[in-house]
Chains A and B, each alone.
Chain A
């Protein structure tokens, strides 16, 4: 009997998003994999398959002292039974109902030892109907939850939507879920590897994402580093997307990008100057040296023209826009070691008080006194973590992401920072 745990993929998305199309493709394509599908009672899988099992969502709550969670009991029963069959599966797909909250499905894989021995949750894949999602994304909690929980977001029917709308949708879901991989599709035509073997809950890949998405958010989008001699310089701004733009200038230690980035921390402590657009920003330089200029929006948006030399280097930053978004991702990146006791206390308090609003979290931590990185993930109040490889030569730092509803970025960041040694 194989010791490999069978990967389980959860497929969610509103009715009509294309879930069934994707499922049918997965079941009929000649990929040589044996895949069992557990579908919701009202599914309409066209292929007559022995490997399709009907499940009627049955949820119960488990309360173990301070940790409370909601579990799909029917899945425990069905998956337990599947594992007793002689037929071995390469993967199992669970299709949820259109209005499902993926939380209970995910939590099920954290709480049952029998399930954990034989199965592993591989990823949550959410199908989004790019054409019709706008009708739901602002009101339906389920739509937001499905987006927030995803490891892979498939923007389906992308051919039916103008490119600008697609860009807008992508930016919107990205702001909600900074960890998910976003893929565009027409008629659910994504390759199988996009959906299976995603590793979304694999602690070995605790933060296997584009580091750019983990960057802290700053109040500016662009920075440029200049070598300036004493004199007066102007940055002319034409009309742009906003009536004003904020700017700040900070001395830099050298001409390289690292110097530009180092200047950031000092720059945010300063007061920004607000310039009207159209208008100009005047910079008086008394000492020759390197100067970093940070602008709230990208200068191109205002057809900005600088009277000084070309920048030595530039950098772009993720904007800290007020999206008026209920569901957001908060990324924290900080060097330094954590006081384990303080961190445990803080996290416990956080999960107990805000656990319902925190959909997922993932991260790598540097714990004081531990030579190894500590990797963790969580769904609501359930937490799973373990030591990983040794830090070795790698600089010790903490990287974590919270995806949730009404998250207080400042409080989370400050609370976490207070746990550092």
Chain B
């Protein structure tokens, strides 16, 4: 008689109350530090080896919107928010290592290039580029776009190609390269694109849109593919590191498109049902094959799409999951400020 085995319960190895809605959660390159930025402003720095909060940086007055560690082992964190200032923090210091004008009072996103040489900012309607050499200096202030920049993403590093960035907002995508004054390419699209995800092989950009569709942009051919039927806007998209699947939000079901072979066009996606309420986060483990999903009810589920259509493991955090970051450990943040770390 087969034994019905339900999902394992994920057990947190560490739980911290960070004190506010976790708007960004990032593992440092060395994986010793976990930065939890709060929507209200403060950035809480957790030391996972010592299991304690080692810093509470003041972040940005009026609210912090995003933080990201520079690629590499040196723990250097860039942060942005609603005070018009870009800041760099060193884990070893309480005060910012560096700060400069971000160029707009609403900076929703920043992203380090894969080599760590460049830092891109979505500052109001412009993408602005900083270059880190001895110090951080502004390298480009690109032309104003039709709307406030909603998201930014660098292309995963491809041998022999320039570092390339994509930005989105309303009415189009733009591709940027540091050595070019103008956008390298532009795609027009009527509507609001909220989230970007670049396929690991750099060939396809997926966008999650306000009108409850997911769009694929195939760079080599300029072709587009649209998937609809979602319940709500798609705020979360994640490509599988093996470049086969795209996991998408926009409902309570995790919808996973198989992009292998001829691509997802005309195919039925995997429908992973577990969450009762709208998804809020999706992230794959660093080299696959597992995927983690979080939702507005505070449930977390770990899956192996394509292998099993039930969760492998679950956790319940008590309030809406807002951020997830998976390196060698899995970190989850909530709207109530809880941060949990799980060994995986």
Chain A contacts to B: CB under 8 angstroms:
1, 50, 54, 56, 58, 60-64, 71, 73-74, 76-77, 81, 84-87, 111-114
Q: Which 7 pairs across A and B sit closest by C-beta, in order of nearness?
A: A84-B39, A60-B170, A113-B232, A84-B21, A58-B147, A60-B192, A62-B211
Assuming A1-B336, A64-B211, is B233 touching A112 (CB within 8 A)?
yes
Q: Indicate whether B278 reaches chain A with its CB closer than 8 angstroms.
A: yes
Measured between beta carbons, the chain A residues less than 8 angstroms from B190 are 60-61, 63
- B148 on interface, CB distance cutoff 8 Å: yes
Q: How distant is the Cα of A56 from the Cα of B319 in the complex, in angstroms?
A: 32
B211 touches A63 (CB 8 A): yes
Give every chain B residue within 8 A of A73 (Cβ-Cβ). 147-148, 170, 192, 210
- Compute how far the CA of A87 lies from the CA of B108 in the bound complex, rounded to whole angstroms: 20
A114 touches B232 (CB 8 A): yes
B40 touches A86 (CB 8 A): yes
| Bound complex: CA A63 to CA B191 (Å) | 8
Q: Is A1 in contact with B191, judged by CB distance below 8 angstroms?
A: no
> Shortest Cβ distance from A46 into chain B, in angstroms?
20
Chain A interface, DSSP helix/strand/loop, else mixed = mixed
Could you say which residues of chain A place their CB within 8 Å of the CB of B170?
A: 58, 60, 73
Mask of B221-253 contacts with A, CB within 8 angstroms, 1/0: 000000000011100000000000000000000
Distance A115 CA – B21 CA, assembled complex (angstroms) = 17
Given A1-B319, A58-B170, A114-B233, A85 and B40 touching (CB < 8 A)?
Answer: yes
Residues of B within 8 A of A81 (CB): 39, 63, 65
- Asked whether, in the complex, the Cβ of B171 is within 8 Å of the Cβ of A60, the reply is yes
Which residues of B come within 8 Å of A, CB atoms? Answer: 20-21, 23, 39-40, 62-63, 65, 105, 108, 147-148, 150, 170-171, 190-192, 210-212, 231-233, 278, 319, 322, 335-336
Q: List 9 A-B contacts (CB under 8 A).
A: A1-B319, A60-B147, A60-B171, A63-B190, A73-B147, A73-B148, A73-B210, A84-B23, A113-B232
Across the two chains, which residue of chain B brings its CB closest to A76? B210
Known contacts A77-B148, A81-B63, A113-B233; A62/B210 CB under 8 A: yes
Complex CA–CA separation, A61 to B20 (angstroms): 34
A84, closest chain B residue (CB): B39
Starting from the known contacts A73-B147, A77-B148, A86-B40, 13 additional A-B residue pairs (CB-CB under 8 Å) come to A1-B336, A60-B191, A62-B192, A71-B192, A74-B147, A74-B148, A76-B210, A81-B39, A84-B322, A85-B40, A86-B20, A86-B21, A113-B233
A62 touches B191 (CB 8 A): yes
CA distance A77 to B148 in the complex (A): 10
Q: Is B335's CB under 8 angstroms from A84's CB? A: yes
Docked Cα-Cα span, A73 to B148, in Å, equals: 9
For the complex, what is the distance from the CA of A113 to the CA of B211, rounded to whole Å? 11
In the bound complex, CA of A64 to CA of B209 (Å)? 12
CB-CB nearest in chain B for A64: B211
CB of A37 to closest CB in B, whole Å:
14
B147 nearest CB neighbor, chain A only: A58
Whether B105 lies near A71 (C-beta < 8 A) is no
Q: Which residue of B lies closest to A61 (CB)?
A: B190
Which A residues lie within 8 Å of B23 (CB)? 84
Q: Which residues of A contact B278 (CB under 8 A)?
A: 113
Nearest CB of B to A118, in Å: 11
Give the residue name and chain of the B residue nearest to A54 (CB): B105
CA distance A381 to B121 in the complex (A): 37
Q: Are A71 and B233 in contact, with the CB atoms below 8 A?
A: no
A194 to B62 CA separation, bound complex (whole angstroms):
31
